[in-house]
Structures are given as structure tokens and as C-alpha cells.
Amino acid sequence: MGRSISMKFSNAMPKIAALIALICCCHQAFSQTATWPTKPIRIVVGFSAGGPTDIVARAFAEQASRTLGQPVVVENKPGANTILAAEAVAAAPADGYTLLMAATNHTMIPALYSARVKFDAVKSFAPVCTLAVSPTILVTGTSMNVKNLSGFMQQVREAPGKRTYGTAGLGSSGHFASEQFLRMVGLSMNHIPYKGAAQVVTDVMGGQVDSSFATLGSVLPQVQSGKLTALAVASAKRSTLLPNVPTFAEAGVKGYSADAWYGLLAPAGTPVAALQALEKISAQFAEQASSIAKLQGLGMEPQHLCRDAFGGMLEADTKAYVKLANELNLKLD
């Protein structure tokens, strides 16, 4: 009898241990989220200070710090096309104290660097919210005397593979946006990659390059001054910053969209309470006049796409870029 009870107790021990572990885990998670935050929060940016992603991160950090009553610090960790920053956040404790300020190129990483990354661009992260969006805009300079999208397409069609478009580099958002458009409309152009966006803008203005699919923020002053001609904006609606420039759909090319987004990601498994608090702050950020003014000064507008909706966009964009990179035989490993 005693031996039977002992055996039953022995058999039950693994289940009891598992139950105790579960209780402890739940208690720890509750303890973390019930008082979150109790220490400074870190937002990692994969670019140097002063760029658009960094400016959005710092503007949000100011808002979050005031709301949460804790310092929110921006840490710049540039390198390897933002891979270093994403790796650091993916490997950080999932406690709500380390966040990634990501941008569109985050979803391009699997397409370009599948052999070297140590994280999954979607599954390794918990999406919080997008904070800002800057639409892609097609601009031309002096080398193409066109005033609208149909005129541009006609000139490209008449000289297949000879007209040029400049981008900030192979595998950049501009490169993908350009090729998405060209494949959609069945046209061919010659890609001129640079090592950054500034020289692209200069050479399009000077006529050395015919065109560029650029983020609005990178060309807004030149368009407003008349040094570049804006033909169409790749978003669902016209930009409030350039209200006279039609969307691609209005100009005759339906279904083309190439917004550049900026948003917050946390390590996968981050407590829901922390994510919910960050989501509320993101909503405040999107509605605050000072935030809107700062974003518009960068050629951006606030965007508030959160949690599942943001995650769905990440997954869809990642798949689309992998497909396009395969078609272009493009790898940067």
C-alpha cells in the first residue's frame, strides 16, 4: 500500500513541478507588467543620429517619457543595413524595456540577407504601432521634359532600358519601389545605384539621371522650389504637403503603393500590458499638434497602425520583397 502511494506520488511529481513553474512564470509576468515601467526604456535605432528614423524615435521618446514618468532613451546602433540594431532588440529580454524603431527596410532584410541574419523579421518581434509614413514620389529633373505620369511612361516605352532611375543603393526602398512599378506597367529602365539619397537628388536635378522613386521627405524642398517635377505619389490619397500632385491611381496606374513607414517593434513575448501602454502613447503621438508639425517638416504624416494590423503588414511586405528579390536575383549576403 505504502509503495503504491509512493509510486503514484513519484509519477505525479513532473506534473506538480510543471504546475509550480507555470504559476511562478505567471506571477513573474504579472509582477513585471503590473508596475511597468519601473526603469528607463531604450529605443534602438539602426541609423545614425539626425536621420528621419532617428528624429521620429526621439520625438516619440519625448512623448513616452512625459506620459510614463520614466526616461526613454534613444540608442543609435547603425550598421549592416539596420541588421545590428534588429539583432540586438530580438535578443533582448522581452520585458518592455528594449524597443526597436524600425522602418520599411526592416521587411527587406529577409529578401537581401537571408544567409546572415540571426532573427526572423516577423516572428522575432511583437509589433507595437506605426508612428509615421512618408509616401514614395516619382520625380524627374531637366533631362525629361514631362509634366505627368503618362508622358513619363511614354518616353520610357520609346527607349526601353535606356532611361535611368537613381536610388540610394542596391536593395534600398527606392530600388524595390522602382522595380515594383516597372513590373506592374511592363516597362524597363536602367538602375543607377548610389551610396545614399542626397547625391541621387542632386544628379536628378542636374540631369545626369532621369528620375527617382524617392521618399517625399527627401525631395520635398526641391519639388516645392520647382527644381524637381513631381509626377505622382504612391499612396492611397494625395499628400497634404503636395496637394496638387496626383496619386498613381489618379494618374492612371491603379494598385501601386510604396509608402515608407516608421514604427515600433518589441521583442517577441513582450508582456501585453506593456504593448497596450505603448499603443496608447502612439495614439497620443499621432494626434498631438507638435508631433504632426515635426513629422510634416520631414515630409511625413502620422500613422497609427497597431498590433495585429501592423503585424499583418509586416508579414505581407516581407513576402512581397522576398518574391521581388528572387525575380531580380538580388542578394547582398
Q: What is the pLDDT of residues 74-99, one digit of tens each?
A: 999 998 889 999 999 999 999 999 99
Q: Cα(201)–Cα(57) distance, rounded to whole angstroms?
A: 25
Average pLDDT of span 92-109: 96
Give residue 116's pLDDT band: very low, low, confident or very high (50, 70, 90). confident
Asked if the domains at 39-134+259-328 and 136-233 fall in one CATH topology, the answer is yes
Q: Which three cell numbers stand for residue 47?
A: 541609423
| Assigned CATH for 136-233 | 3.40.190.10
Question: Looking at residue 182, what is its pLDDT?
Answer: 96
Q: Which three cell numbers stand for residue 137?
A: 514620389
Question: Looking at residue 80, what is its pLDDT?
Answer: 87
pLDDT one-digit tens code per residue, 219-252 = 999 999 999 999 999 999 999 999 999 999 999 9
Q: Cα(35)–Cα(92) distance, rounded to whole angstroms?
A: 20
Outline where DSSP puts E strands in 181-328: 190-193, 211-215, 229-233, 260-267, 301-302
Q: What are the residue ranges spanned by the domains of the chain?
A: 39-134+259-328, 136-233
* Residue among 16, 24, 60 at smallest CA distance from 41: 60
* Residue among 214, 231, 159 at smallest CA distance from 190: 159
Q: Cα(219)–Cα(223) distance, rounded to whole angstroms?
A: 6
Q: Which three cell numbers stand for residue 1?
A: 500500500
| Residues 6 or more apart in contact with residue 154 via CB below 8 angstroms | none
272-287 helix and 289-296 helix, angle to the nearest 10 degrees: 70
Outline where DSSP puts E strands in 118-180: 125-134, 136-140, 164-167
pLDDT one-digit tens code per residue, 10-28 = 555 555 555 444 444 444 4
Q: Cα(212)–Cα(163) distance, rounded to whole angstroms?
A: 11
The yes-or-no verdict on residue 30 having pLDDT over 50 is: no
Average pLDDT of span 123-136: 96
Q: Which three cell numbers stand for residue 179?
A: 522595380
Alpha carbon distances (Å) from 5 to 1, 10, 14, 19: 6, 8, 16, 20
Average pLDDT of span 312-326: 95
Q: Which residue has the cell 509576468?
A: 29
CATH homologous superfamily of 39-134+259-328? Bordetella uptake gene, domain 1 (3.40.190.150)
Q: Cα(91)–Cα(104) distance, rounded to whole angstroms?
A: 21
Question: Looking at residue 27, what is its pLDDT?
Answer: 45
